[in-house]
Structure 1
Amino acid sequence: MASPHHDWMIYSRSRGQSAIAAAAYAARIRTWDRRYVPEPQDHSHKTDLVFSGILLPPKAPSWMRDRRALWSAVERREDRSTRPEDAQVCRGKVVSFQRELTMERNILTLLQYLEEQYVARGIIIDFNVHDAEAEDGGRNWHTHLLATMRVVGPDGFGLKNRAWNGVNFRPRNGSRPHALRDGMLLQQRAAWSDYVNAAFAEAGLDIRIDHRSLKAQGIDRMPQPRLGKAKHAKGQWAQQRRDEVRDVAAYNGARQQARAGQRAAVKGKGAGIVAGAASAASTARHDGRVASAPGRGRHAQ
């Protein structure tokens, strides 16, 4: 089933996160700098990485194509920020590929999207495409994206470009941070849908994805949470996540069955009315209570 899944997040030291740890996980390699990742993490045993690369804007120095050099430089630059202990080091996204398209077409669509929507704005993108097993037994093609947050030039990183955020980090009424209505993040979700839908059209497929919320689309269904790492993880949080996914699926399934039952009842009621009217008309004709319409039938003059 075509999916618009396009998550994003901010990696922040205040939450114990590191750009190096995030890059190592996505690229399926071992972490390399204990100043920022004290406990080494090795992901090289995982075999689902199928394509990987770093896209640089024209002003970025070529040495930044080296993943270790790039993210070490990002971490060192944040050491000189106003509050290094709480620094936001990079932005990350997980973008779902479409099963209806080939892996090659998905990758071409992704690269075009990244070059035109991010790199053209001066953002460095580290991308890693994974081919994992999906919860339904099929293939879960997706890509992990890491994006820099500072303006880059020949001498390295400068100030952060706040225009790239597009996020209101002052939650409303205690809610989570939300994307601004016209912010860059929301624009990128819409743009990704456009690129994917264009690929569907070129492939002759009558399929489309929609980045908007179910409510905005007028769909009466509770958003289905993703199981993610909780599928195989242990602990209370993982069990709670599995329970949530199950409960939402059961709720949506019950709502769908209820709506189907209502439609069937309405259809059956309508069919019953028509059948009743036909039966009454037939009885009336046999009783001689219904004459033919004027100008038609045997009584026409």
Structure 2
Amino acid sequence: MASTKSVSRGQGQNAVAAAAYRAGDKLLDEDKEHGKTHDYEKRSGVLSADIILPTALAGGDIGRSELWNMAERNETRKNSRVAREWLIALPHELSEQDRKVLAHDFARTLADRYQVIADCAIHVPTAKEIERGASPLNFHAHILLTTRTATIDDDGKIYLTKDKADSEISDDDRRKKGLPRMSAEIKTVRELWEHTANKVLEAKGHHLIDSRSYKSQGIDLVPQIKMGKDATHMERKGIPTEKGRFNREIIQSNELVWNKHLNDNQKTNAKADRTIADLRESKLFIVPAVPKPNFKERKVSDVDLARAYDTANRLKNIKLDREKAQQAEQERLRQKQIADAAQKKQEQLEQEKREQQQRREQIRERIAMETRQFNQHYKQLAQQLIKFDKPHLQKIDPNSEFGKHLVAIVAADTLMRELTRYQRDPSTTKHQRELAEIQYERLGNTLIAQSQSALDSSKSTRQSMTQKEYTAALKGVFDAMVPEHKQNLTQTQQERLQSVSSALNDHSYDINRSRSRGLGFQI
């Protein structure tokens, strides 16, 4: 067995905790917000745990706590992969030291292949696990690899770079680098483990292992299904499970098929032996004698073999049906997830729409309230009495035609001044300033129109003294209000106001000039 999986934050996992558990060590997670101590020193079954550096970092040194805290710090995303684990089954035929050397050699092979640092922990089955039904031959190694490449500086300090290891990049990035897909890479690593282990097994005279599936080897055996922790726990307690019964039937069927496979191989080997013997006797081909394997042939009747094949086919069909059912269930769950996501998105859109509508209603209510407040304030301003503070204005009859125009001018000027103060008030809202600006522009039009009317009224007066008083009063008002409002009016209003002001000045000049000539004639 040689399998791999990632240690991911997205699954709630942590590199420091994973390393502490596999090594049976006590490590402090140095994260400021979620850091804590992971203490597994009392864990049994850990034969050894060692940091394995790539060959390029030979001579360097780094502690387990420093390494995996660095691995955590170098990953910033909340769903980052913080480590990769390879789990390998160590041959029980080897000695404890040979298993350790083999595991370390393979760990260094992975470290060199990806230029990462490995943390290799070798586990042995404990007496408690064996009592619960675990195999006493379950020797295995957990090899944790960093997800980023490692290097060493001039001071001999080891650190992890920002570069992802080739085992952690996407298939698209692997293709850009001329590498095969990750699924092919996993198959290659399994073959590496096969070759690494077989060198030791062959040197020690043991049977070799094969990383290929039964189907790839041409052996008609049915793989057992995965039990899972719940079914395994129940079986160890002596409680039969459906998965356990299914696997027991597979074992019985495979035993018969395997014996038939060995029997066929034995017949093939015997035929080859006879051919070699004939060649040796005829001296046409000299082949050194080899020791014959100690194979005890087990007779398998045709009935047993047929029953085994029937059972195997039945189990294959059952397994195929289960796989189809699982695929159908996965597809159902996928469709349900899509439907749930679509429904959730629709609900979010409806909620956003309701919230948007609610905000619009609130804005409308606020604007309506601010409008009412402005109208009430403006109404109060408009109801105030208009006072003529200047002496020359007090001589004007407010009920005369000119007086009415002058009253309207002074009223507009007063309201415009009040609106200017109202706009500058910090408590005035933006909408109320806009309303005041609109009303200010309307009053500006009124002021200009009444000024033109007052000027026309003054010109139409027959009595020269009255005309002079009207003109002086109008000019006095103009001189006081034009500088106040000139910059606040629109460009068009400014031009109109300037036109009235020029006409008023010309009329005032004409009156004074005419009076001067009249005085000179009398003298």
TM over 0.5: yes
The structure in which a higher percent of residues are helix is 2
Pick the aligned partner of 1:44 from 27, 41, 45: 41
- Please, which moves more after superposition, 11-20 or 57-66? 57-66
Secondary structure in 2 aligned to 1:72? helix
**CA distance in structure 1 between the aligned counterparts of 2:152 and 2:230, rounded to whole angstroms:** 42
Question: Deviation per CA, 1:93-139, whole angstroms, max 9, x where unpaired?
Answer: 21111111111111122222222342354120001111224545524
Matched, 1:32 2:28: yes
**CA distance in structure 1 between the aligned counterparts of 2:109 and 2:255, rounded to whole angstroms:** 43
Q: Which residue of 2 aligns with 1:209?
A: 209
**CA distance in structure 2 between the aligned counterparts of 1:258 and 1:165, rounded to whole angstroms:** 43
Question: Deviation per CA, 1:158-179, whole angstroms, max 9, x where unpaired?
Answer: 234453248869xxxxxxxx95
| Offset of residue 193 of structure 1 | 0.8
Q: Which residue of 2 aligns with 1:265?
A: 302
**CA distance in structure 1 between the aligned counterparts of 2:24 and 2:229, rounded to whole angstroms:** 16
**CA distance in structure 2 between the aligned counterparts of 1:167 and 1:264, rounded to whole angstroms:** 52
Task: Give the unaligned 5+ runs of structure 1.
Answer: 170-177, 270-301
Alpha carbons 2:52, 2:111 under 8 Å: kept: no
Q: Which residue of 1 aligns with 2:220?
A: 220
CA separation of 1:20 and 1:191: change in aligned 2, threshold 3 A: same
**CA distance in structure 1 between the aligned counterparts of 2:191 and 2:123, rounded to whole angstroms:** 23
**CA distance in structure 2 between the aligned counterparts of 1:217 and 1:232, rounded to whole angstroms:** 28
Pick the aligned partner of 1:163 from 166, 181, 188: 166
Matches within 5 A, 1:186-265: 186-205=187-206, 207-225=207-225, 230=230, 243=241, 245-256=243-254, 263-265=300-302
Question: Deviation per CA, 1:68-111, whole angstroms, max 9, x where unpaired?
Answer: 000000000102xxxx1010111012111111111111112222
Q: Which residue of 2 aligns with 1:104?
A: 97
**CA distance in structure 2 between the aligned counterparts of 1:230 and 1:167, rounded to whole angstroms:** 34
**CA distance in structure 1 between the aligned counterparts of 2:81 and 2:125, rounded to whole angstroms:** 29
| Offset of residue 231 of structure 1 | 7.4
Q: Which residue of 2 aligns with 1:9?
A: 5
| Offset of residue 33 of structure 1 | 1.5
Pick the aligned partner of 2:81 from 81, 85, 88: 88
**CA distance in structure 2 between the aligned counterparts of 1:136 and 1:263, rounded to whole angstroms:** 30
**CA distance in structure 2 between the aligned counterparts of 1:227 and 1:42, rounded to whole angstroms:** 30
CA-based RMSD: 3.7
Matched to 1:147, the amino acid is L
**CA distance in structure 2 between the aligned counterparts of 1:90 and 1:267, rounded to whole angstroms:** 49
Matched to 1:193, the amino acid is E
Normalised by the length of structure 2, the TM-score is 0.41
Task: Give the unaligned 5+ runs of structure 2.
Answer: 154-158, 173-180, 261-298, 307-523
Q: Which residue of 2 aligns with 1:56?
A: 53
CA separation of 1:15 and 1:57: change in aligned 2, threshold 3 A: same
**CA distance in structure 2 between the aligned counterparts of 1:128 and 1:37, rounded to whole angstroms:** 26
Question: Deviation per CA, 1:274-295, whole angstroms, max 9, x where unpaired?
Answer: xxxxxxxxxxxxxxxxxxxxxx
Matched to 1:113, the amino acid is F
Alpha carbons 1:55, 1:119 under 8 Å: kept: no
| Offset of residue 34 of structure 1 | 6.5
| Offset of residue 210 of structure 1 | 0.7
**CA distance in structure 2 between the aligned counterparts of 1:267 and 1:253, rounded to whole angstroms:** 14
Secondary structure in 1 aligned to 2:301? helix
Q: Which residue of 1 aligns with 2:142?
A: 144
Matched to 1:106, the amino acid is R
Alpha carbons 2:149, 2:165 under 8 Å: kept: no
Matched to 1:163, the amino acid is D
**CA distance in structure 1 between the aligned counterparts of 2:85 and 2:217, rounded to whole angstroms:** 26
**CA distance in structure 2 between the aligned counterparts of 1:64 and 1:199, rounded to whole angstroms:** 28
Alpha carbons 2:84, 2:144 under 8 Å: kept: yes
Matched to 1:251, the amino acid is E
**CA distance in structure 1 between the aligned counterparts of 2:96 and 2:226, rounded to whole angstroms:** 22
Question: Deviation per CA, 1:197-230, whole angstroms, max 9, x where unpaired?
Answer: 111111122x111111222222333333566755
| Offset of residue 40 of structure 1 | 5.0
| Offset of residue 57 of structure 1 | 2.6
Matched length: 245
Secondary structure in 1 aligned to 2:138? strand
Alpha carbons 1:54, 1:127 under 8 Å: kept: yes
Pick the aligned partner of 1:75 from 64, 72, 90: 72
**CA distance in structure 2 between the aligned counterparts of 1:150 and 1:211, rounded to whole angstroms:** 27
**CA distance in structure 1 between the aligned counterparts of 2:217 and 2:170, rounded to whole angstroms:** 22
| Offset of residue 43 of structure 1 | 1.7
**CA distance in structure 2 between the aligned counterparts of 1:257 and 1:180, rounded to whole angstroms:** 31
| Offset of residue 31 of structure 1 | 4.1
**CA distance in structure 2 between the aligned counterparts of 1:63 and 1:228, rounded to whole angstroms:** 41
**CA distance in structure 2 between the aligned counterparts of 1:228 and 1:46, rounded to whole angstroms:** 22
Alpha carbons 1:12, 1:18 under 8 Å: kept: yes
Alpha carbons 2:125, 2:134 under 8 Å: kept: no
**CA distance in structure 1 between the aligned counterparts of 2:112 and 2:51, rounded to whole angstroms:** 10
| Offset of residue 244 of structure 1 | 6.3
Alpha carbons 1:59, 1:152 under 8 Å: kept: no
**CA distance in structure 1 between the aligned counterparts of 2:140 and 2:104, rounded to whole angstroms:** 13
**CA distance in structure 2 between the aligned counterparts of 1:229 and 1:31, rounded to whole angstroms:** 27
Which is greater in Rg? 2
